[in-house]
Amino acid sequence: MTFPDGQPTGSFAGPFDADVEDPKGSDASAQRGRPAGGEGGAAPAAAAGAGPDLPPGPLDQAAVLDLYLAAGALRRGHFALSSGRHSDTYLQSALVLQWPRLAEALGRALAEPFAGQVDVVAAAAVGGLLIGHEIARELGVRMVFAERAGGVMRLRRSFALRAGERALLAEDVVTTGGSAGEVADLVSVAGAAPVGLAAIVDRRPSPAGGPLSAVALARVAAAAWDPADCPLCQAGDAPESPGSRRLDGHPP
Ligand SMILES: [Zn+2]
């Protein structure tokens, strides 16, 4: 699969710009992958800082990947991830979810298969907060989140689950399924029942893995290696660390 250039226009001001800097310096706003589809004038709105256009059709794989590309939230190259691993793919859902209308639409699409089957949405902070809340809004249920403290995932803030509640887990991107599994364990310990996992993007090499059935709007093939095994490093390339840019705009 090839990905068209789809970087943001550069008209955004503020810290997000540092993370979406296009090393090729392209002016790809005119080449975005998916046309606005009959809504003339939408592209100029994006150029003015309103964010990527929502596609007119369903939020299927192609539409979601176009949104991510347009927001600079999906890039190909050589990246040092915050986990310490190196990858040929960088995904940063916050660059899509910073636009509430996009978050709302993605949440609605993810909620649809679970309508009437969920009593509460549970997610791990920080990645699952925005999309989990939007899914819960659409389902008309509450949303609780777990936080990692001292290496242990916990429900804090007096959040409580009741025995028998049906809990939908939510994540922005499923990388290994590990965080969702930890939240599922918390849910189970509380006596509630995990009923599934909803994610915008599934980047696991084997999506079928894991104890929970997962619904994802898009799947992305992404390689990841321990730095010592990274073929891109071995080829002499230096990785970018897009997730660790300092917010004051100065390089670390
Ligand atoms: Zn590397």
> Any bridge partners for residue 211, and if so which?
none
Q: How far is the CA of 36 from the centre of ligand 1 (A)?
A: 36
Give percent of the chain above pLDDT 90.
58
**How far, in Å, is the centroid of ligand 1 from the Cα of 246?**
21
Instruction: Give me the pLDDT at residue 31, please.
Output: 39
Residue-level pLDDT at 211: 62
- 180 CA distance to ligand 1 centroid (A)? 27
Confidence of residue 243 (pLDDT cuts 50, 70, 90): low
Average per-residue pLDDT for the chain: 79
- The better pLDDT of the pair 214, 232 is held by 232
Tell me, what's the pLDDT at 198? 96
Q: Given a cut of 60, is residue 251 above it in pLDDT? A: no
Question: What pLDDT band is residue 48 in, cutting at 50, 70 and 90?
Answer: very low
Mean pLDDT of 68-86: 91
Tell me: pLDDT of 41 over 60.
no
> pLDDT at position 137, please?
98
* Å from CA of 84 to ligand 1 middle: 10
Estimate to the nearest angstrom the gap between the alpha carbon of 230 and the chain centroid: 24
Residue pair 19/12 in contact (Cβ under 8 Å)? The answer is no
Residue 136: what pLDDT?
98
- Interval between CA 226 and ligand 1 midpoint (Å): 8
> What are φ and ψ of residue 235, in 5° steps?
-85, 0
Distance from residue 79's CA to the centre of ligand 1 (Å): 7
pLDDT of residue 81: 85
Confidence of residue 203 (pLDDT cuts 50, 70, 90): confident
Ligand 1 geometric centre to CA of 121 (Å): 36
Residue 140 φ/ψ, nearest 5 degrees: 75, 30
pLDDT of residue 150: 87
Q: Angle at the Cα of 126 (from 198 to 159), degrees rounded to 5?
A: 80
Give residue 35's pLDDT: 40
- For ligand 1, the distance from its centroid to the CA atom of residue 224, given in whole angstroms, is 9
Question: 171 alpha carbon to ligand 1 midpoint, in Å?
Answer: 26
Calpha distance 247→219 (Å, rounded):
29
Neighbouring residues of 133: CB distance < 8 A, sequence distance ≥ 6: 107, 121, 143
State how far the Cα of 141 lies from the Cα of 151, in Å rounded to an integer.
29
Distance 234 CA to ligand 1 centre (A): 7
Under a CB-based contact definition with an 8 Å cutoff, are residues 187 and 194 in contact? Answer: yes
* Residue 79: pLDDT over 50: yes
Choose among 130, 128, 124: nearest CA to 148: 124
Only one residue has tokens 């999906």, namely 74
Q: Per residue in 138-196, pLDDT tens?
A: 999 999 999 998 888 999 999 999 999 999 999 999 887 788 889 999 999 999 999 99
pLDDT of res. 43: 41
Report, as an integer, the average pLDDT of 18-33: 36
Q: How confident is the model at residue 29 (pLDDT cuts 50, 70, 90)?
A: very low
122 pLDDT more than 60? yes
The stretches of the chain forming alpha helices (DSSP H) are: 16-19, 42-45, 61-70, 94-97, 100-111, 129-139, 178-189, 231-234
Determine the distance from the C-alpha atom of residue 28 to the mean position of all C-alpha atoms in its chain, rounded to a whole number: 22
Q: What is the pLDDT of residue 207?
A: 59
Which residue type sits at 123?
A: A
The alpha carbon of 240 and the centre of ligand 1 are apart by a number of angstroms equal to: 9
Cα 82 to Cα 59: distance, rounded to the nearest angstrom: 28
